[in-house]
Structure 1
Amino acid sequence: QIEELNVVRPLSLPERAVALALAVSLDSDYFSRRGGWGLPFLIATE
């Protein structure tokens, strides 16, 4: 069984920004090594 996740406190704005930056970085790194597209919606809007 999987234990429930208990949130102690919500993330602050700087913590959210770091989490988002890490997620984008990991996504980009993963897909660049696999030969696919990282985040196509970001590429299309730039």
Structure 2
Amino acid sequence: MDVNEILEGETLTGKQAIIIFFGFLLLVISAGVLLVLLSDVFRALI
């Protein structure tokens, strides 16, 4: 399956859409948690 076909979403099954959605959600949440945990490190750099 080509990347353009995935992004258009016409041939996407429900299972694939759920995997992509929760994968992206997990990525955003983990990035937020990482930023909170490393906020002291970032403050020390300023």
Letter of the 2:14 counterpart: L
Question: Unpaired runs of 5+ in structure 2?
Answer: 37-46
Percent identity, aligned pairs only? 10
CA RMSD of aligned residues (A): 2.3
Q: Which residue is 1:30 aligned to?
A: 31
Q: TM-score, normalised by structure 1?
A: 0.54
Relative contact order higher in (CA < 8 Å, ≥ 6 apart): 1
Aligned residue for 1:33, secondary structure, equals: helix
Aligned length: 31
In structure 2, the residue matched to 1:15 is 16
In structure 1, stretches of 5+ residues that fail to align are 36-46
In the TM superposition, residue 9 of structure 1 has moved relative to its aligned partner by: 6.5
Question: Which protein is richer in helix relative to its size?
Answer: 2
Q: Which structure would you say has the larger Rg?
A: 2
User: SS of the counterpart of 1:15?
Assistant: helix
